[in-house]
């Protein structure tokens, strides 16, 4: 593992309990060690509360619907993965050789999970003020840019399908794996025209968004091919 003292400088916090930081960086593929999934669960909620509060205060005239759209953009996996890359979390992550060989350090889903785990660890070790300081440092420019944020994948897919007479997309749980405290949901989205895709995430809502995002990407590629 790379020198965690360097990472602490980047995070702006020296951990009293260094084990928390190590746990936040450890992938579940490493057997016998405490891994990041519980901290990820906590960090997701802490991040959500901080972002929701900041949006509420920063945009006092914005309605609930627009706040929700901007909130979704700021806490989604892609945004978290972007932050993780900014602070080079991949350098510090610990994972099995098999996971590393499969490109685990570059996988957006893993980077996002570790970023959430870091927030959880900062909260437990330094309190809500420390977690808030970290989030505001790295999300501040994104909060301002949120004024032009696009709609979330589920909303975009629904509007696309209904505009073409395909009705409302249907979401179905395919399976749920993993322990009860850290489940992984697989959700399939289907359209009336037969198109569909699957998504995987740690929550049903996240898996639905992932499925919608995947299907939108496939639709985009198909339309580009048809227009070529």
Domain positions in the chain are 4-148, 153-227
Q: What share of the chain is helix, strand, coil (3-state, %, to 5)?
A: 65, 10, 25
Q: CA-based diameter of the chain, in Å?
A: 58
- Nearest-angstrom CA–CA distance, 162 and 198: 20
Instruction: Measure the CA angle with vertex 104, ends 102 and 108; round to 5°.
Output: 125
Collapsing DSSP states into helix, strand and coil, what is residue 215? helix
The reported pLDDT for the residue numbered 152 is: 75
- Residue 221's pLDDT is what? 66
pLDDT in tens, 139-165: 988 887 665 545 678 888 988 888 888
How high is the pLDDT of residue 1? 55
Tokens of 38: 């519980």
Q: Which residues are catalytic?
A: 44, 116
- Phi, psi of 203, rounded to the nearest 5 degrees: -140, 160
- The CATH number that domain 153-227 falls under is 3.30.160.20
pLDDT in tens, 208-224: 988 998 998 888 766 65
And the tokens for 164? 């073409």
Identify the burial level of 129 via C-beta atoms within 10 angstroms of its C-beta, where 0-12 means exposed, 13-18 middle and 19 or more buried: exposed
Query: How many helices (H) does the chain have, and how many strands (E)?
Result: 9, 3
- Which residues of the chain carry a pLDDT beneath 50? 149
Residue 137 Ramachandran class (φ > 0 left, ψ -120 to 50 alpha, else beta)? alpha
DSSP notation for 137-190: HHHHHHHHHGGGPPPPHHHHHHHHHHHTT--S-EEEEEEEES-TTS-EEEEEEE
**Domain pair 4-148 / 153-227, same fold:** no
Q: Residues in the chain, how many?
A: 228
pTM above 0.75, yes or no: no
What is the third-level CATH fold of 4-148? Ribonuclease iii, N-terminal Endonuclease Domain; Chain A (1.10.1520)
What is the model's pLDDT at position 39?
A: 96
């Amino acid at each position: 593992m790379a020198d965690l003292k360097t990472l602490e400088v980047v995070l702006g916090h020296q951990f009293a309990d260094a084990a928390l930081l190590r746990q936040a960086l450890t992938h579940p593929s490493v057997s016998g060690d405490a891994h990041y999934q519980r901290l990820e669960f906590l960090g997701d909620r802490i991040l959500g509360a901080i972002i929701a509060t900041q949006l509420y205060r920063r945009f006092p005239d914005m309605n609930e619907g627009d706040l929700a759209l901007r909130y979704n953009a700021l806490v989604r996996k892609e945004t978290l993965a972007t932050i993780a890359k900014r602070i080079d979390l991949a350098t510090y992550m610990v994972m099995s050789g098999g996971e590393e060989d499969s490109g685990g350090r570059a996988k957006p889903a893993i980077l996002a999970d570790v970023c959430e785990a870091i927030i959880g660890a900062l909260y437990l070790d330094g309190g809500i003020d420390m977690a808030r300081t970290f989030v505001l440092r790295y999300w501040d420019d994104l909060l301002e840019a949120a004024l032009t944020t696009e709609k979330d994948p589920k909303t975009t897919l629904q509007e696309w399908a209904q505009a073409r007479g395909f009705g409302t997309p249907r979401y179905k749980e395919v399976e749920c794996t993993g322990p009860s405290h850290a489940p992984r949901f697989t959700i399939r989205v289907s359209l009336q025209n037969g198109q569909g895709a699957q998504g995987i995430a740690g929550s049903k809502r996240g898996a639905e968004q992932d499925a919608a995002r995947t299907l939108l990407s496939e639709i985009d590629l198909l339309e580009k091919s048809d227009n070529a």
